[in-house]
């Protein structure tokens, strides 16, 4: 499944959240990641993030089940490409 993740966490935890997300997804913009994850990888990611955040933080996941139907549009600077995983 293709997932878009956005987060709003306290500044002191922001770097930790970003480091975990970079292991699973592409960093496309400040506080926004996206990528293809299996259900088991997604659950693994949630467990790791849950250990970092506190109740005042927020992490949102948007699920796209048919990524061929995603149309992206933007204004201003083009987002980083997220087509290749190294």
User: Which CATH number goes with the domain that contains 24?
Assistant: 3.30.70.240
Contact 61, 1 (CB under 8 A): no
Q: Per-residue confidence at 76, pLDDT binned at 50, 70, 90?
A: confident
Predicted confidence (pLDDT) at residue 85 exceeds the cutoff of 50: no
- Give a yes or no: residue 50 inside a domain: yes
- Per DSSP, the residues of 30-41 read TTEEEEE--HHH
Length reported for the chain = 86
Task: Check whether 8 is labelled as a binding-site residue.
Answer: yes
Quote helix, strand, coil % in the chain, to nearest 5: 30, 25, 40
Whether the per-residue pLDDT at 8 is higher than 60: the answer is yes
Radius of gyration of the chain (CA): 13
Tell me, yes or no, whether 43 lies in a domain.
yes
Q: What percent of the chain has pLDDT over 90?
A: 67
* Residue 73 forms part of a structural domain: no
Whether 23 maps to a domain, the answer reads: yes
* Domain total in the chain: 1
**What's the confidence (pLDDT) of residue 68?**
67
For residue 76, being part of any structural domain is answered with: no
Q: Containing domain of residue 48, as a range?
A: 2-58
Average pLDDT over residues 60-77: 78
Tokens of 8: 């709003």
First to last CA, the chain: 19
């Amino acid at each position: 499944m293709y997932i878009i993740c956005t987060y709003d966490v306290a500044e002191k935890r922001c770097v930790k959240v970003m480091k975990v997300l970079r292991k699973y997804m592409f960093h496309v913009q400040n506080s926004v990641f996206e990528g293809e994850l299996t259900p088991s990888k997604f659950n693994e990611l949630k467990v790791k993030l849950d250990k970092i955040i506190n109740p005042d933080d927020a992490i949102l996941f948007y699920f796209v089940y048919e990524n061929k139907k995603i149309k992206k549009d933007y204004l201003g600077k083009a987002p980083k490409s997220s087509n290749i995983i190294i």
